[in-house]
Amino acid sequence: MSHEIPQSRHVVQFPGPRSVELMQRKQAAVAAGVGTTMPVFATRAGGGIVEDVDGNRLIDLGSGIAVTTVGASNPRVAAAVAEQVQAFTHTCFMITPYEGYVAVAEALGRLTPGDHDKRTALFNSGAEAVENAVKIARSYTGKQAVVVFDHAYHGRTNLTMAMTAKNMPYKHGFGPFASEVYRAPLSYPFRDSGVDGAAAAQRAITVIEKQVGAANLAAVVIEPIQGEGGFIEPADGFLPALADWCRANGVVFVADEVQTGFARTGDLFACDREGVVPDLIVTAKGIAGGLPLSAVTGRAEIMDAPHGGGLGGTYGGNPIACAAALAAIETIEADGLVERAREIEALLKRRLDALQSDDARVGDVRGRGAMIAVELVQPGTTEPDAALASAVAAYAHQRGVIVLTCGTFGNVLRFLPPLTISDELLEDAFDVVAEAFASTREAVSA
């Protein structure tokens, strides 16, 4: 673990003068649509800290949106990348292939759920891999429709915008969207009291059967725990029932594990918790220690359906990203990071349960592993309180803690630390989060 950066929170000035200057340059040179959560610019990151250009050291509870699971300067990843850069940066796998790509495909075949014969194709981003999973499912089934869920997030390309639920900021003004995408109701235990997993699955299946029809349906695509939609963990039994229905009806069941994969949730993949075996699994983010890489892995007969040359892209499975992925996977296995994610869950839930017990605005504490969130509401109701989520996040940022918000209603605070973070940093960060809640309560009562 790289701990060259002192592993302590330190705020000099937030934002400091160099960040202010860089932000002015950003505004003059970078498209306004590319927003930033933090007003500070990074220079170094590692362990559980992001250091900025003014010497502020921020505790990282975001991992660059669930990417730097093995840390942002993991020594194995850094060494593998350096070695690969010296050897070659690119040949294009579709022109002159190389071993790293094959080794990543082998690793994904070994690690993803199910012991059936598998194949993998590599891409660059999560959205690109989701699009390819849909292409593969359509090619295999000869059908076109795709079912996704309420609150889903699958990316920002044209097809994945259609698959994503939330209008602002992801879709607004960017239509028309791809056709043959249908939305089914999710299991959302906090807003669904009394509906268990089996009943929620039946509710979704009825919508699918009545509004789409299995005979038209190529794939059901679902995040086993929703990411941007609010870290919504469906009730037990929901995912297995949907997977069973897909199998019985000739529909490809696709797990979008772009955010949940690679130890993030305290299992190697979130589907593992209930023993769900997807036909196709989409991975990205935590796969390669910060380098852009994504994958579709699945049943050989489905993956092999598209014709030769039908899948690919100039950069997909870039050799540097593949070298990083092999090093990240080695780190997850050698350093026991699945277990570490479970320890982080225990610490975070202890802190957040304590917060909830004396603050009625914390409606729900949920998630698994190092993917934990609180949903904030008007006390005693399920009425979303997005202003509180923004106020708590802003307070934490000012005091050197990176926290992110999410959710259809913007009222979810989410915590996604790198698995290399120390308990001391987590305790310090959650002291700040607790202070942030207290300060907003004082502001209201003042």
Ligand X SMILES: Cc1ncc(COP(=O)(O)O)c(C=O)c1O
Q: Which stretch binds ligand X (CB under 6 A): 19-27, 103-111, 125-133, 398-406?
A: 125-133
What type of residue sits at position 45?
A
DSSP β-bridge partners for residue 405? 413
Q: Return the residue of 45, 59, 70, 127 that touches ligand X, per CB under 6 A.
A: 127
Least distance CB 47 / ligand X (angstroms): 23
Least distance CB 290 / ligand X (angstroms): 12
Q: Which stretch binds ligand X (CB under 6 A): 121-129, 244-252, 393-401, 414-422?
A: 121-129
Q: Which stretch binds ligand X (CB under 6 A): 84-92, 151-159, 389-397, 425-433?
A: 151-159
Under the binding rule (CB under 6 A), the answer on residue 126 touching ligand X is yes
Residues 327-356 that bind ligand X (CB under 6 A): none
Strands 181-184 and 145-149: parallel
State which residue, 256 or 335, has the beta carbon closest to ligand X. Answer: 256
Q: Which stretch binds ligand X (CB under 6 A): 148-156, 323-331, 353-361, 425-433?
A: 148-156
Under the binding rule (CB under 6 A), the answer on residue 130 touching ligand X is yes
Least distance CB 282 / ligand X (angstroms): 7
State which residue, 74 or 125, has the beta carbon closest to ligand X. Answer: 125
Q: Return the residue of 68, 132, 259, 411 that touches ligand X, per CB under 6 A.
A: 259
Q: Which stretch binds ligand X (CB under 6 A): 153-161, 181-189, 198-206, 237-245?
A: 153-161
Least distance CB 130 / ligand X (angstroms): 6
Under the binding rule (CB under 6 A), the answer on residue 153 touching ligand X is yes
- Using Cβ positions, the residue closest to ligand X within the complex turns out to be 126
Q: Is there a contact between 85 and 320 (Cβ–Cβ < 8 Å)?
A: yes
Least distance CB 381 / ligand X (angstroms): 28
DSSP β-bridge partners for residue 38? none
State which residue, 151 or 154, has the beta carbon closest to ligand X. Answer: 154
State which residue, 84 or 164, has the beta carbon closest to ligand X. Answer: 164
Least distance CB 259 / ligand X (angstroms): 4
Contact pattern for ligand X over residues 7 through 46, marking x by CB under 6 A: ----------------------------------------
State which residue, 104 or 195, has the beta carbon closest to ligand X. Answer: 104
Count of residues interacting with ligand X (CB under 6 A): 15
Residues 223-252 that bind ligand X (CB under 6 A): 223, 227-228
State which residue, 227 or 363, has the beta carbon closest to ligand X. Answer: 227
Q: Which stretch binds ligand X (CB under 6 A): 33-41, 122-130, 265-273, 320-328?
A: 122-130
Least distance CB 432 / ligand X (angstroms): 25
CA distances from 161 to 30, 148, 153 (A): 22, 11, 8
Residues 155-174 that bind ligand X (CB under 6 A): 155
Could you give the dihedral angle defined by the CA atoms of residues 61, 63, 64 and 69, in that order, rounded to the nearest 10 degrees? -160
Under the binding rule (CB under 6 A), the answer on residue 69 touching ligand X is no
Under the binding rule (CB under 6 A), the answer on residue 284 touching ligand X is yes
SS (H, E, C) the chain: CCCCCCCCCECCCCCCHHHHHHHHHHHHHCCCCCCCCCCCCEEEEECCEEEECCCCEEEECCHHHHCCCCCCCCHHHHHHHHHHHHHCCCCCCCCCCCHHHHHHHHHHHHHCCCCCCEEEEEECCHHHHHHHHHHHHHHHHCCCEEEEECCCCCCCCHHHHHHCCCCCCCCCCCCCCCCCEEEECCCCHHHCCCCCHHHHHHHHHHHHHHHCCHHHEEEEEECCCCCCCCCCCCCCCHHHHHHHHHHHCCCEEEEECCCCCCCCCCCCCHHHHHCCCCCEEEECHHHHCCCCCEEEEEEHHHHCCCCCCCCCCCCCCCHHHHHHHHHHHHHHHHCCHHHHHHHHHHHHHHHHHHHHHCCCCEEEEEEECCEEEEEEECCCCCCECHHHHHHHHHHHHHCCEECEEECCCCCEEEECCCCCCCHHHHHHHHHHHHHHHHHHHHHHHC
Instruction: Go through 32-60 and write b for each residue having 16 or more CB atoms within 10 A of its CB, e for each that does not.
Output: eeeeeebbbbbeebbbbbbbbbbebbbbb
Least distance CB 157 / ligand X (angstroms): 7
Residues 193-222 that bind ligand X (CB under 6 A): none
User: Where along the sequence are the contacts to ligand X (CB under 6 A)?
Assistant: 65, 125-127, 130, 153-155, 223, 227-228, 256, 258-259, 284
